[in-house]
Amino acid sequence: MKKKILAVLLGGCMAAGLLAGCGGGNDAASSGEGTDAAAEDSSSGGGDYHFEVVVKSFQSTYWQAAITGIDAAADELGVDINTTGPNAESDIADQVNMLNNAISQAPDGIALAANDQSAVLPSLQDALDAGIPVVCFDTGVPDAPEGSVIATIATDNESAGAVAAENMYPVIKDAIANASGQVRIGEVNQDATSANISGRGMGFINKMKELIEADGKTVAVIGNQYYVDQVENNGDEGSADVIIEVAVPAQTTVELSATEASNIMNKEDTIAIFGSNQVTAEGVLTANQNLSVLAATPDEGIVGVGFDAGATLKAAVADGTLIGAVTQAPVDQGNLAIHALYDYCEGKEVSDIATDSYWYDAETMNDEEIAPNLYD
Amino acid sequence: MANKSVSNTAGTNRSFIDRMGGQKFIVLILVIVMFIFFCAMSPGFRKYTTVVSILDYSYYIALMAIGVTFPLLTAGVDLSIGTGLICYSLIGGYLIVHQGWPVGAGMLVTVLMGVIFGVINGCLVALMDLPAFLATLCTCMITRGFGAFIVGGYGIPWPTATAPGGWFRSIFKIQVGGQNIPIGFLWIILLVIVMSFVLNHTKMGRYTRAIGSNKEATRLSGVNVKFYHIMAYVICGLFAGLAAIAYSAIFATVQPGSGAGFELDAIGGAIVGGVSMSGAVGSITGTLIGVFVICLLKTGLPFIGLTANWQQIITGFVLIAAVLFDILKRKKEEGR
Amino acid sequence: MGEVILTMKGIDKSFPGVHALDHVDLEVRKGEVHALMGENGAGKSTLMKVLTGIYKKDSGTITYEGKEVEFHNTREAQDAGVVIVHQELNMLGHLTVAQNIFIGREFKKGIRIDDKKMNEEAKKLFDRMHIDIDPKETMSRLTVGKQQMCEIAKAISHKAKVIIFDEPSAALTEAEIEELFKIIRDLRDQGLGIVYISHRMDEIKVITDRVTVMRDGAYVGTLITKDSTKDDIINMMVGRVIYEDPKTQNMTPKGSPVVLKVDHLNAGKMVQDVSFELHKGEVLGFSGLMGAGRTETMRALFGADPIDSGDIYVNGKKVTIKSPEDAVKCGIGYLSEDRKRFGIVVQKTVAENTTMADLDEFCNGPFIDKKKECEVAQKFVESLATKTPGVDQLVVNLSGGNQQKVVIAKWLTRNCDILIFDEPTRGIDVGAKNEIYKLMNQLAAEGKAIIMVSSEMTEILRMSDRIVVMCEGKKTGELDISEATQENIMNMATREIN
The Cβ of residue A214 has, within 10 Å, a number of other Cβ atoms equal to 9
The pLDDT of residue A39 is 40
- CB-based touch C/A (3+ pairs, under 8 A): no
Domain count, chain A: 2
Is the pLDDT at B280 greater than 90, yes or no?
no
The pLDDT of residue A26 is 38
Query: Does B120 contact A315 at a Cβ distance shorter than 8 Å?
Result: no
Is the pLDDT at C432 greater than 80, yes or no?
no
- Return d(Cα A346, Cα A343) in angstroms, integer: 5
Name A50's Cβ contacts closer than 8 Å, sequence gap at least 6.
A79, A80, A81, A82, A105, A107, A108
pLDDT in tens, C50-93: 998 888 999 999 999 999 999 988 888 988 999 988 766 677 88
The pLDDT of residue B128 is 93
Residue B10: pLDDT band with limits 50, 70, 90: very low
Residue A322: inside a domain, yes or no?
yes
Nearest to C497 among B5, B11, B216 (CB): B5
Residue B189: pLDDT band with limits 50, 70, 90: very high
Regarding whether A102 and A60 lie in a shared domain, the answer is yes
Cα A338 to chain centroid distance, Å, stands at 19
Regarding whether A134 and A197 lie in a shared domain, the answer is no
Task: Give yes or no for A259 touching B (CB within 8 A).
Answer: yes
What single DSSP character describes residue C5? Answer: E
Regarding whether A127 and A40 lie in a shared domain, the answer is yes
Regarding whether A178 and A41 lie in a shared domain, the answer is no
The pLDDT of residue B14 is 58
Distance from CA of B26 to the nearest CA of C (A): 21
- Return d(Cα B93, Cα B77) in angstroms, integer: 27
Kindly tell me the burial class for residue C297, based on how many C-beta atoms sit within 10 Å of its own C-beta (0-12, 13-18, 19 or more).
buried
Distance from CA of B182 to the nearest CA of A (A): 10
Nearest to A249 among B44, B160, B308 (CB): B308
Residue C449: pLDDT band with limits 50, 70, 90: very high
Regarding whether A194 and A219 lie in a shared domain, the answer is yes
CA dihedral C315, C321, C326, C328 (to 10 degrees): 50
The pLDDT of residue B72 is 96
For residue A14, give the CATH number of its domain: 3.40.50.2300
Task: Give yes or no for C486 touching B (CB within 8 A).
Answer: no
Looking at residues C423-444, what average pLDDT do you find?
80
- Return d(Cα C19, Cα C31) in angstroms, integer: 32
Residue A243: inside a domain, yes or no?
yes
Name A301's Cβ contacts closer than 8 Å, sequence gap at least 6.
A292, A293, A294, A295
Residue B5: pLDDT band with limits 50, 70, 90: very low
Regarding whether A119 and A10 lie in a shared domain, the answer is yes
Regarding whether A131 and A34 lie in a shared domain, the answer is yes
The pLDDT of residue C361 is 73
Query: Does C494 contact B2 at a Cβ distance shorter than 8 Å?
Result: yes
Query: Does B4 contact C105 at a Cβ distance shorter than 8 Å?
Result: no
* Partners of residue A279 in chain B, C-beta under 8 Å: 255
Residue B2: pLDDT band with limits 50, 70, 90: very low
* Partners of residue B223 in chain C, C-beta under 8 Å: 103-104
Task: Give yes or no for C12 touching B (CB within 8 A).
Answer: no
Distance from CA of B326 to the nearest CA of C (A): 14
The pLDDT of residue B234 is 97
Query: Does B148 contact A250 at a Cβ distance shorter than 8 Å?
Result: no
Query: Does C113 contact B6 at a Cβ distance shorter than 8 Å?
Result: no
Regarding whether A314 and A165 lie in a shared domain, the answer is yes
Looking at residues B94-103, what average pLDDT do you find?
93
The pLDDT of residue C273 is 92
φ and ψ at C312, to 5 degrees?
-125, 130
Residue A221: inside a domain, yes or no?
yes
Distance from CA of C44 to the nearest CA of B (A): 18
Nearest CA in chain A to B153: A59
Residue A86: inside a domain, yes or no?
yes
The Cβ of residue A40 has, within 10 Å, a number of other Cβ atoms equal to 11
* Partners of residue B213 in chain C, C-beta under 8 Å: 92-95
Residue A372: inside a domain, yes or no?
no
Looking at residues C269-277, what average pLDDT do you find?
91
φ and ψ at C35, to 5 degrees?
-80, 140
Contact criterion met (CB below 8 Å) for C440 and C424: yes
φ and ψ at C165, to 5 degrees?
-100, 115
- CB-based touch B/A (3+ pairs, under 8 A): yes
Residue A370: inside a domain, yes or no?
no
Amino acid at C310: G
Name B54's Cβ contacts closer than 8 Å, sequence gap at least 6.
B295, B296, B299
Instruction: Choose, out of B221, B281, B336, the residue to mutate when testing the contact with C (most C CBs < 10 Å).
Output: B221
Nearest to B8 among C106, C146, C494 (CB): C146
CA dihedral A187, A190, A191, A192 (to 10 degrees): -30
φ and ψ at A50, to 5 degrees?
-120, 120
CA dihedral sign of residues A367, A371, A373, A376 = positive
Residue C173: pLDDT band with limits 50, 70, 90: confident
φ and ψ at B250, to 5 degrees?
-90, -40
* Partners of residue B336 in chain C, C-beta under 8 Å: 141
Q: Which of B96-100, B220-224, B331-335 has the highest mean pLDDT?
A: B96-100
- Return d(Cα C98, Cα C381) in angstroms, integer: 47
Strands, E assignment, chain B? 156-157, 174-176, 179-181, 253-254
Is the pLDDT at C110 greater than 90, yes or no?
no
The Cβ of residue B80 has, within 10 Å, a number of other Cβ atoms equal to 31
Regarding whether A320 and A175 lie in a shared domain, the answer is yes
Distance from CA of B117 to the nearest CA of A (A): 10
Task: Give yes or no for A279 touching B (CB within 8 A).
Answer: yes
**Chain A touching partners, 3 or more CB pairs below 8 A:** B
Task: Give yes or no for A308 touching B (CB within 8 A).
Answer: no
Task: Average the pLDDT over each of A31-35, B80-84, C274-278 and give the range with the smallest value.
Answer: A31-35
Q: What is the pLDDT along chain A (376 residues), one digit of tens a residue?
A: 444 444 444 445 444 444 444 433 333 333 333 344 334 444 444 568 999 999 987 766 778 888 889 999 999 999 999 998 887 677 788 889 999 999 999 999 999 998 887 889 999 999 999 999 999 988 888 888 888 899 999 888 899 999 999 999 999 999 999 988 999 999 999 888 777 888 999 999 999 999 999 999 999 999 998 999 999 989 899 899 999 999 999 887 888 899 999 999 999 999 999 999 888 999 999 999 889 999 999 999 999 999 988 888 999 999 999 999 999 888 888 999 999 999 999 988 888 888 888 899 999 998 888 888 887 7
pLDDT in tens, C462-496: 889 999 999 888 899 999 988 888 788 888 887 65
Regarding whether A150 and A8 lie in a shared domain, the answer is yes
What angle, rounded to 10 degrees, do the helices at B48-73 and B225-250 form? 160
The pLDDT of residue C135 is 92
Is the pLDDT at B49 greater than 70, yes or no?
yes
Residue A375: inside a domain, yes or no?
no
- Nearest in space to A52 (alpha carbons), one of A113, A115, A129: A113
How many residue contacts between A and B have a Cβ separation below 8 Å?
Answer: 138
- Return d(Cα C493, Cα C498) in angstroms, integer: 12
Query: Does A23 contact B150 at a Cβ distance shorter than 8 Å?
Result: yes
Query: Does A311 contact B157 at a Cβ distance shorter than 8 Å?
Result: yes
CA dihedral A100, A102, A104, A107 (to 10 degrees): -140
Nearest to B94 among A23, A88, A255 (CB): A23
* Partners of residue C143 in chain B, C-beta under 8 Å: 6, 8
Regarding whether A348 and A308 lie in a shared domain, the answer is no
Please give the angle made by the CA atoms of A189, A193 and A195, to the nearest 5 degrees: 85
Please give the angle made by the CA atoms of A233, A237 and A242, to the nearest 5 degrees: 85
Task: Average the pLDDT over each of B260-264, C368-372, C448-452 and give the range with the smallest value.
Answer: C368-372
Distance from CA of B329 to the nearest CA of C (A): 14
Query: Does C103 contact B218 at a Cβ distance shorter than 8 Å?
Result: yes
The pLDDT of residue C344 is 67
Regarding whether A243 and A124 lie in a shared domain, the answer is no
Query: Does A259 contact B180 at a Cβ distance shorter than 8 Å?
Result: no
* Partners of residue B203 in chain C, C-beta under 8 Å: 106, 108, 113
> Which range marks the domain in which residue A194 is found?
157-327
Distance from CA of B35 to the nearest CA of A (A): 15
Nearest CA in chain A to B307: A224
Query: Does A255 contact B302 at a Cβ distance shorter than 8 Å?
Result: no
Name B75's Cβ contacts closer than 8 Å, sequence gap at least 6.
B211, B212, B215, B277, B278, B279, B280
What angle, rounded to 10 degrees, do the helices at A92-104 and A121-129 form? 0
